[in-house]
Amino acid sequence: MVDINRYLAEKKDLVDRALQKYFPPDHPFFSVMLYSLETGKRIRPILTLASFEALGGENLEDIMPVACGMELIHTYSLIHDDLPAMDNDDFRRGKPTAHKQFGEALAILSGDGLYAYAFELFSLGSNLIEERYRVIQTVSEAVGPKGIVYGQVLDMEDHSTADPKTLRKIHYNKTAKFICAPIKCGAIMARAPAKTIKVLERAGIYLGVLFQYTDDILDVVGEKEQLGKTPGKDKSSGKLTAPLVYGLPGARYRARRYAELAKASFTSLGDKFNIFNSITDFVLNRSY
């Protein structure tokens, strides 16, 4: 039985060390991007590493830039999401948001820089060219206008009715697609067969919807110190969330169901995917 907290801490450490390599401390603008990159659970790069390893991938040099690119894109989305024109948040990852720290212009630019730099990292390396191309294709689809950007547009709309169908669409686009893509990219880089990737796509979406359920629930029940961001913002800004649509017990019940669905899919891929069942339980029970 794997100690999931230890596993996550070890992988996070690997990712953090690799990130340092890509951000030279002597460059003044890189330090602005690094400010927002610091801390964070590193779930997306860890998912990439975990699927790469589960499918027999061994060379960390191949996978690290891909894994780190996931964190860069995730961080860009947080920076832009926190801007006054979007969710207008002052606090993220336990400290003032990028626009509070550096002003709006530099915050926007640091998001832009992280976003583009991620794709530079995805294309690093002279081997696995076709796989890197597929990574770029997969991620750009997940985070562009058919993915998280669309999810964000839906999220910002006025939601006067607690409609489950709209909630599903927001969760699917805003969050699930970019939990799924990092898993899929680890598998692509390990040259996994197409049928394995198909199963992972389904499992990744279940895990991603679960991730947003727990995020919605934590916004209601979580503490600022643990979350590193201000709780209660969803309600005060009229967001459509799982607790709003289903109530807190209903949202918790459905979160458990999504966890079961994710685990059933991971389990169908055999013992080497056990780590994903532990990650799923971590996401279900997380307090930050």
Site for ligand GRG, rule CB under 6 A: 40-41, 43, 74, 77-78, 80-81, 93, 148-149, 151-152, 174-175, 211-212, 215
Place of tokens 């109530």: 247
- How far apart CA 254 and CA 217 sit, in angstroms, is 11
Q: Minimal distance in Å, beta carbon 149 to ligand GRG?
A: 5
* Residue with Cβ nearer ligand GRG (89 or 131): 89
Q: Minimal distance in Å, beta carbon 32 to ligand GRG?
A: 18
Helix (H) or strand (E) holding 91: strand 91-92
Contact 212, 171 (CB under 8 A): yes
Place of tokens 């860890």: 46
Q: Minimal distance in Å, beta carbon 65 to ligand GRG?
A: 18
* Residue with Cβ nearer ligand GRG (102 or 150): 150
Q: Minimal distance in Å, beta carbon 39 to ligand GRG?
A: 7
* Residue with Cβ nearer ligand GRG (55 or 148): 148
- How far apart CA 71 and CA 85 sit, in angstroms, is 23
* Residue with Cβ nearer ligand GRG (93 or 132): 93
Amino acid identity, position 184: K
Those residues whose C-beta lies under 8 Å from the C-beta of residue 276, and which sit 6 or more positions away, are: 50, 51, 54, 183, 203, 207, 262, 263, 266
Q: Minimal distance in Å, beta carbon 151 to ligand GRG?
A: 6
Helix (H) or strand (E) holding 92: strand 91-92
Q: Minimal distance in Å, beta carbon 220 to ligand GRG?
A: 14
CA-closest candidate to residue 46, choices 241, 249, 211: 211
* Residue with Cβ nearer ligand GRG (131 or 219): 219
Query: Which pair of tokens denotes residue 96?
Result: 């003032």
* Residue with Cβ nearer ligand GRG (97 or 265): 97
Q: Which residues, listed in sequence order, are joined to residue 92 by a DSSP beta bridge?
A: 95
Contact 225, 286 (CB under 8 A): no
